[in-house]
Amino acid sequence: MATTTDAIAKVRQEFPFLRRKVHGGLPLTYFDNAAMTPVPSIVQQRLASYYQSDTANIHRGLYYVSVEATRQYEDARKRVQKFINAKHCDEIIFMPGTTIALNLLAQAISAQFAATSNNDSEKTEIILTTMEHHSNIVPWQLQTNLCIKYLPMLANGELDLDALPQLISSKTKLISLVHASNSIGTINPLPEILQLCKAHGLITIVDAAQSVGHMPVDVQTLDCDYLVFSSHKIYAPTGVGVLYGKQDMLKQLPVVSGGGGSIKQVDLDKTSFLPPPAKFEAGTPNISGVLGLDSALEFLMNNDLPQLWQHEQDLLSYATAALQEIDGVRIIGTARQKVSILSFVIAGIHPHDIGTLLDFEGIAVRASHHCTHPTMKHFKVPATVRAAFSFFNTTAEVDLLVKAVSKAIHTFR
């Protein structure tokens, strides 16, 4: 087995983006991987190849190129199935992203609740957590027949599991929660949480946008009903996401967005739908993006993922220790289990000023509320500076970050 240093040096070569310069000549140090990951060459080549020689719409095309494009698109579905260990490839639905997938679930499931409710005035209760991304709060708030209960966080940014049993009542029908927090990195103990929720018959939804690509995610082991993630956070193009749903759940889930490609028969007064996944993929999908995702997963699966993921954890520990050494730095979110996301604030300097000063050194971080207002409120900060590491980052790059943070503090002193 190659040493980690060799493996990282080799994997970095696959990302041309990492060689670009900023501000007229500075090397780029890219730490915004929780927002967007760059794509390896193999993904760029796949996009180019689709638009160069495989350009055709999928399904129902009777000619050679369309049949070929359809085969590639369906092969991508099988690759995703393998990557998250789904039982059937029909359980993989391609979406434009995590946000749209969660909106689809919120609309379809609340419609299901409304159809089965025998008391119109009584709201169905669902459970979310206070560490959710806005994308897993707003879609549920938009459903008027739901009452949302929130599982709170502890001071360190872990969920307060002791509070969970009290939140579940006979009216509770669903839990939707994040696997790993995008703003503070916490990895939630899903097996424990899901087991309790399933024992009470709750529908279980996992937002895996920040976990897939940074740790093993196996939907059969998790035994969740639905799981969603985005392609642009796992080294693939923007505009694609995956909705995984158990076969029997997807069969019963109503269609909320119909159109071409999803139907069996359309009459002027009624429509019958195809089985999943087609039922939920109305309209021409992002074909090139899905093929790009296929190549990104191929790239990941051809690497020694446990070694790369261990390197991400090592970077997290190294950066956490180094930043903690600096006077005035406060790490936001100190859960025991974290993905390689490090959020921090500095006494007396607004995160946006830090973000700008780091940019002047060629370092790309995100300084923001990270679409998690409730999480920011919990830690009583308006925003944080977030460095999100990928396996292609190095300890030398972390050293640059640490040096730039010290320099920023000096500028403001």
Partner 1 sequence: MEEHRHSLYQQVILEHNRSPQNFWVMNDCTHRSEGLNPICGDHIWVYLDANDNKIHRLSFTGEGCAICKASASIMTCHLQGKSITAAKSAAKDFHALAQGNVSDSDDRKRFGKLIVFATIHRYPARVKCATLAWHTLLGALSNAGTVSTENTE
Task: Note the residues at the interface with partner 1 (CB under 8 A).
Answer: 23, 26, 349-353, 356-357, 360-362, 369, 376, 382-383, 411-412
Query: Residue 32 phi/psi, 5° resolution?
Result: -110, 40
- CB atoms closer than 10 angstroms to residue 62: 6
Measured CA to CA in angstroms, residue 124 lies from 117, 121, 255, 355 at distances of 8, 10, 20, 42
Query: Residue 88 phi/psi, 5° resolution?
Result: -130, 150
Catalytic residue chosen out of the listed positions 89, 147, 224, 371:
371
Q: What does the block give as tokens for 12?
A: 């970095």
Tell me whether residue 314 or residue 353 sits nearer to partner 1 (CB atom): 353
Tell me whether residue 60 or residue 380 sits nearer to partner 1 (CB atom): 380
Smallest separation (angstroms) from partner 1 to the CB of 383: 5
Smallest separation (angstroms) from partner 1 to the CB of 32: 14
Tell me whether residue 79 or residue 369 sits nearer to partner 1 (CB atom): 369
Backbone Cα Rg of the chain: 22
Smallest separation (angstroms) from partner 1 to the CB of 389: 23
b/e for 257-270, b at 16 or more Cβ within 10 A?
Answer: eeeebbbeeeeeee
Smallest separation (angstroms) from partner 1 to the CB of 131: 18
**Residues 285, 66, 278, 224, CA torsion sign:** negative
* Distance, CA of 381 to CA of 398 (rounded, Å): 24
H-assigned helices in 180-231: 190-199, 219-222
Tell me whether residue 10 or residue 21 sits nearer to partner 1 (CB atom): 21
Give catalytic status of residue 197 as yes or no.
no
Known catalytic residues are 371
